[in-house]
Amino acid sequence: MTRIVLDAMGSDNYPRPDVEGAVMAAREYGVEIILTGDASKIQPILDSANAAGLPLSIVHAPEMLTMHDKGEELVMKARHKDAQNSMAVGLDMVKRGEADAFVTAGNTGAAMVTSLFRLGRLRGVDRPALAPVFPTATGTCIILDIGANPDCKPENLLQFGIMGSVYAERVRGVKNPRVGLISNGEEAGKGSELVKGTYPLLANAGLNFVGNVEGKEIFSGHVDVAVTDGFTGNVLLKSTEAVAKLIIEKIREAIKGGGPLALIGGLLVKPAMGKVKKLLDPSEEGAAPLLGVNGLVFIGHGRSDALAIKNAIRVAKEAAESKVLDAMKSAIEESLRK
């Protein structure tokens, strides 16, 4: 049985959404879930969730990392060999082979730093990358990086492309994924110095590289993996989320302010609007993989509810069962030999 360790102290409203999501996942996906965190806070919620008989257990971790942990203080808490925070305890279990993947909705920076210190990097990977799934006109697209590395070198983006391609194929089921390089123009000579330096590396990496892509190509479904630096990726992510929210809100305002006929029309399109809202809802994916560390790590949003936690565990299960980490190691090793 696949074993997933969940940071029960991760979400903004911990530990209730985390524990309730774990219970839902244990019932639906048949995975063993290990909850790390303050047992005195976790156990009462577990008891009230009618979870008897489910493969759920608690590993007590009396400390936790928060948004206030930064700089040297965060590094010390992340790297201390006897650290007792819920992230470190959970990641150590993955390191020892006691769990197949780690899931958290906690502080993204803390999760990345702690993952690096507890698990280390894959050989040949200089920097890990966050790789969320974006909806497109034809399916989905993995975009990496979206914030872990604001400043990158061409070699970093090459590694992102390799890891993203392997993840898309193994976990998302995309055969021969199309990889694109985010730029301000489709032509090979367009883009920043970073883009221009990355283009030939991706073109000669043995990937299904389709060249530069603009934002419109990403969302029209022209690529399965889009590569960029963390600064550009983070701007793209937050802008996309804001625009999607704005459109939904404006449609609602137009329906409410459009009189009786608009209200009737609103009722008629409500099912379709529900499908669109679900498509844009980040809780449907639950978490983004942190690719490049020597273990499976998934980081969700702090606002995650129980549904988001459940889906994050599902994604972690799919990744563990696909053996994506071994495939990624092999792909990176092959690139080093070229």
Helix (H) or strand (E) holding 130: strand 129-130
Do residues 167 and 63 share a domain?
A: no
Residues 147 and 72 in one domain: no
Same domain, 170 and 260: no
Q: Say yes or no: 193 and 88 in one domain.
A: no
Residues 79 and 139 in one domain: no
Whether residue 260 is found in the same domain as residue 294: no
pLDDT at 12 over 80: yes
Q: Is the pLDDT of residue 20 over 90?
A: yes
**pLDDT bucket at 82, cuts 50 / 70 / 90:** confident
On whether both 242 and 297 belong to a single domain, the answer is no
Alpha-carbon Rg for the chain, nearest whole angstrom, is 21
Q: How confident is the model at residue 279 (pLDDT cuts 50, 70, 90)?
A: low
Residue with more model confidence, 284 or 79: 79
Please tell me whether residues 85 and 96 are part of one structural domain. Answer: yes
**Looking at the structure, do residues 93 and 184 belong to the same domain, yes or no?**
no
User: CATH number, domain at 296?
Assistant: 3.40.718.10
**Higher model confidence: residue 92 or residue 75?**
92
Confidence band, pLDDT 50/70/90 cuts, at residue 75? confident
> Both 123 and 135 in a single domain?
no
CA distance linking residue 70 with residue 212, whole number of Å: 36
CA dihedral 264, 270, 272, 277 (to 10 degrees): 140
Query: Rounded CA gap, 169 and 161, in Å?
Result: 12
Q: How confident is the model at residue 194 (pLDDT cuts 50, 70, 90)?
A: very high
The total of structural domains in the chain comes to 3
* pLDDT (mean) for 198-214: 95
**Which structural domain, as residue segments, surrounds residue 143?**
130-230+331-337
CA 14 to chain CA centroid, Å, is 19
pTM of the model: 0.90
Strand-by-strand arrangement of the 32-37 sheet: 56-60, 32-37, 3-7, 101-104, 297-299, 288-291, 129-130
How high is the pLDDT of residue 148? 85
Q: For residues 121 and 292, is the Cβ–Cβ distance under 8 A? A: yes
Q: Are residues 123 and 167 in the same domain?
A: no
The answer to whether residues 105 and 7 belong to one domain is yes
- Per-residue pLDDT tens digits for 305-317: 999 999 999 999 9
